[in-house]
Amino acid sequence: MTFDPLSLRNQFPIFRTNLDKPLFYLDNAASTQMPQTVIDAVTEYETHSRANVSRGVHRLAEAATENFEAARQTVARYIGATSPKEVIFTSGTTDAINLVAQTFGEQLEKGDEVVVTLAEHHSNWVPWYMLAKQKGIILKFLPVEDNGRLDLSKLDQVVTSKCRLIAATHCSNVTGAITDVSALVKAAKSVGAKVLLDGAQMVPHGPVDVGALGVDFYAFSGHKMYAPNGIGVLWGQQSLLETLPPYRGGGGMIRSVSLEGITYAPPPERFEAGTPPIAQAVGLKAAIEWIESIDLHEATKVSHSLMETLLTEMEAQKGLRIIGPVGVNDRLPVVSFTLRDAHPHDVSQILDSIGVAVRGGHHCAQPLMEAYEIDGCTRASFGLYNDYSDVQTLLNGIDKVRGIFS
């Protein structure tokens, strides 16, 4: 296999349509674009197989169910699940984490502790905060180092014998720092706690192996990995899922309902009340197959080289602060920065004027902003279709910002 970002870019209609100027899309950590093959898979399903799942015997219902379950199998393979039964479809990472907070969390007791890190997206913070308020659980916080990495030297202090769960991101959506999962797992196991990883940023860059990671829950979203939005995944260890109460009530998650009572379906259906996002699951399957068709080893070399160029140029600029680790090791191509005289929203707006799409603000990670004593930052995040032109145009844009605000 060879890897050529430009030929990949040609597979994405967004780069050809509706735009009055070229698009330098560097907002992939928020949402990636969709390749034609994913769009086609969704259209094909909606055109020829649309129906509700698991409830009908007619041809279309069978086809829809088949498609939906095939998607579950593809996800299971991509993340190294031992069985598709461990794959729960949700509406996204946020929904997946709330699911854990309300089922696993339901079993926690007053005084139990949950550890989150200061690098979390609000979606892996707020559900735990809400649970803490509801149930009198104590939240503990693992700090970050100045270089954007989790301060693992503090693990001993925050993970006590009362700890029931460590909820941490696999990769920060701000700093791009990849978490040393083994350290978290070791600390958790030593006190019998579980580990939930937020993989929203990690999975778009290639398959993960939940078994090898040694975690208990893993959450991610489709729209950040070239798939439609409205779908995400919670993976959980089967034996653990079986012990959990249901999440939402409704159709599809029961075995039987009568006046005497209700028997719930086994996982994963127990956690999938209501009509699931079927077309979105079909799209997710197509997106995974698309990612798997790429030489990710070569792709990583390219993204590292782009990131290295960008970081080197940035390090030489006065008044520019990189929010994240030095260098490209153990890091995804997510580069956040501040400029001394320009607010991130102004930076993003000026970059937009030359076709560069980045994100400015707190990135739903206000505790991290607070830790670094900044109001916000501007983030450039790379996908598989980015190339040197994106880096160069971004750097030109930063010059332009400096020209306006100096």
Partner 1 sequence: MSSNLYQDKIIALSKDLSNAGRLDKPDTTATLDNPLCGDRVTLDIKLKNNGISELSHHVRGCALCKASAALLATEGKAKTSEELMEMTVALENYFKEGKKLPEGWQTYEVFAPVKDHKSRYDCVLLPLKAAVEALS
Ligand X SMILES: Cc1ncc(COP(=O)(O)O)c(C=O)c1O
Question: Least distance from C-beta 230 to ligand X, angstroms?
Answer: 9
Q: Number of H helices and number of E strands within the chain?
A: 14, 15
Is 364 assigned a catalytic role? yes
Question: Least distance from C-beta 269 to ligand X, angstroms?
Answer: 21
- Identity of the residue, 236 or 397, whose beta carbon is nearer to partner 1 in the bound complex: 397
* 117: contact with ligand X by CB under 6 A: no
Site for ligand X in 219-238 (CB under 6 A): 221, 232
Question: Least distance from C-beta 229 to ligand X, angstroms?
Answer: 7
Choice from 162, 352, 387, 395 touching partner 1 (CB under 8 A): 352
Query: Would you give the distance in Å from CA 224 to the centre of its chain?
Result: 6
* 154: contact with partner 1 by CB under 8 A: no
* 169: contact with ligand X by CB under 6 A: yes
Six token digits for residue 234? 């919670």
* 19: contact with partner 1 by CB under 8 A: no
* 144: contact with ligand X by CB under 6 A: no
- Identity of the residue, 282 or 365, whose beta carbon is nearer to ligand X in the bound complex: 365
The residue written with tokens 């700890």 in the block is 163
Indicate the burial class of 229 (C-beta count within 10 angstroms; 0-12, 13-18, 19 or more).
middle
* 201: contact with ligand X by CB under 6 A: yes
Q: Give the H or E element holding residue 140.
A: strand 138-142
Can you give the C-alpha Rg of the chain in angstroms? 22
- Identity of the residue, 167 or 401, whose beta carbon is nearer to ligand X in the bound complex: 167
Give the CA count within 13 Å in the CB-facing half-sphere of 175.
29
Question: Least distance from C-beta 378 to ligand X, angstroms?
Answer: 16
Query: Which of the ranges 148-156, 310-318, 377-385, 398-406 carries the binding residues for partner 1, by CB under 8 A?
Result: 398-406
C-alpha span between 17 and 358 (Å, rounded)? 19
Choice from 35, 148, 367, 376 touching partner 1 (CB under 8 A): 376
Query: Which of the ranges 191-199, 309-317, 324-332, 345-353 carries the binding residues for partner 1, by CB under 8 A?
Result: 345-353
Six token digits for residue 225? 């990995």
* 103: contact with ligand X by CB under 6 A: no
Buried b (16+ CB within 10 A) or exposed e, 271-293: bbbeebbbbbbbbbbbbbebbee
Q: Which does 362 bind (CB under 5 to 8 A by kind): partner 1, ligand X, none?
A: partner 1
Question: Least distance from C-beta 404 to partner 1, angstroms?
Answer: 5
Q: Which does 375 bind (CB under 5 to 8 A by kind): partner 1, ligand X, none?
A: partner 1
Choice from 93, 103, 378, 381 touching ligand X (CB under 6 A): 93
Catalytic residue chosen out of the listed positions 163, 171, 364, 377: 364
Let me know the angle formed at the C-alpha of 231 by 226 and 118, rounded to the nearest 5 degrees: 85
Neighbours of 160 (CB within 10 A): 13
Q: Which does 141 bind (CB under 5 to 8 A by kind): partner 1, ligand X, none?
A: none
198: Cβ contacts below 8 Å, ≥ 6 apart? 93, 97, 120, 121, 123, 124, 167, 168, 169, 170, 219, 220
Query: Which of the ranges 5-13, 118-126, 184-192, 366-374 carries the binding residues for ligand X, by CB under 6 A?
Result: 118-126
Residue 128, SS3?
A: helix
Q: Are 160 and 113 in contact (CB under 8 A)?
A: yes
* 321: contact with partner 1 by CB under 8 A: no
Give the per-residue SS3 of 225-294: CCCCCCCEEEEECHHHHHCCCCCCCCCCCEEEEECCEEEECCCCHHHCCCCCCHHHHHHHHHHHHHHHCC
Q: Which does 405 bind (CB under 5 to 8 A by kind): ligand X, partner 1, none?
A: partner 1
Six token digits for residue 322? 């990189």
Q: Are 365 and 123 in contact (CB under 8 A)?
A: no
* 200: contact with ligand X by CB under 6 A: yes
Residues in contact with partner 1 by CB under 8 A are: 342-346, 349-350, 352-353, 361-362, 366, 369, 375-376, 400, 404-405
Catalytic positions, please? 364
Residues in contact with ligand X by CB under 6 A are: 29, 92-94, 121, 123-124, 169, 173, 198, 200-201, 221, 232, 364
